[in-house]
């Protein structure tokens, strides 16, 4: 498989792990007497904003644009995925807002709902990319496309480092950090 496609799949696995951890922590914060792990929650929401939304999706947008140039019949799929990238950015703003409310006024129910909405949305989005987009890209794109895409996807050195930071911050059993 092309390096760019392998990296997209790897990034999906990492994003998925953060979404699972975020859901677990948000659910744990609902328990009576729980002391929410705000530092870890903030790190996770920031990670989602910085990596999937600001790095992963824009690089996929480049792949989508190249795909449509080579095979105009892929436009409908490309348009729907681009629309989902815009929707993802909007849902992350809601996630950030809900976390602020949670910290300010203990509104944990709204935060959990925002977490669940974002996680479900993103899992469905990643499934669609892996099942529909990646096989098409592999078949249709040419060597000059791969040269540019491989270079862009390989230039993401902080992705793993940030993930390690989250695992260290999140309290067990979700991560390796101390209980708040």
Q: Residue with CB nearest Fe ion?
A: 60
CB of 88 to Fe ion, least distance (A): 7
Would you call 51 exposed, middle or buried from its count of C-beta atoms within 10 A (0-12, 13-18, 19+)? buried
**Whose CA is closest to 33, among 104, 108, 112?**
108
Give contact residues for Fe ion (rule: CB under 5 A). Answer: 57, 60, 129
Q: How far apart are CA 123 and CA 135, in angstroms?
A: 18
Report the alpha-carbon angle 59-151-92, nearest 5: 25
Q: Which is nearer to Fe ion, 60 or 145 (CB)?
A: 60
Residue 49 token pair: 């904003």
Which CB sits closer to Fe ion, 129 or 145?
Answer: 129
CB of 71 to Fe ion, least distance (A): 18
Q: How far is the CB of 60 from Fe ion (least distance, A)?
A: 4
Q: How far is the CB of 15 from Fe ion (least distance, A)?
A: 8
CB 109 within 8 A of CB 116: no
Q: Hey, is 133 helix, strand or coil? A: helix
Pick 151 or 176: Cβ nearer Fe ion = 151
Given the complex with Fe ion, which of 86 and 176 has the nearer CB atom? Answer: 86
55, two tokens: 């790095």
Q: Which is nearer to Fe ion, 124 or 168 (CB)?
A: 124
Q: How far is the CB of 115 from Fe ion (least distance, A)?
A: 19
């Amino acid at each position: 498989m092309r390096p760019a496609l392998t990296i997209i799949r790897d990034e999906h696995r990492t994003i998925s792990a953060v979404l699972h951890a975020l859901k677990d922590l948000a659910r744990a914060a609902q328990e009576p007497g729980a002391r929410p792990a705000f530092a870890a929650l903030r790190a996770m929401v920031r990670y989602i904003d910085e990596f999937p939304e600001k790095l992963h999706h824009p690089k996929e947008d480049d792949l989508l644009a190249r795909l449509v140039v080579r095979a105009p019949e892929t436009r409908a799929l490309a348009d729907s995925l681009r629309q989902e990238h815009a929707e993802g950015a909007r849902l992350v703003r809601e996630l950030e807002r809900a976390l602020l409310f949670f910290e300010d006024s203990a509104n944990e129910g709204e935060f959990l709902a925002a977490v669940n909405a974002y996680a479900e949305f993103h899992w469905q989005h990643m499934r669609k990319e892996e099942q529909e987009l990646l096989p098409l890209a592999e078949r249709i794109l040419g060597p000059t496309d791969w040269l540019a895409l491989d270079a862009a996807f390989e230039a993401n050195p902080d992705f793993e480092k940030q993930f390690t930071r989250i695992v260290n911050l999140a309290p067990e059993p979700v991560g390796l950090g101390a209980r708040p």
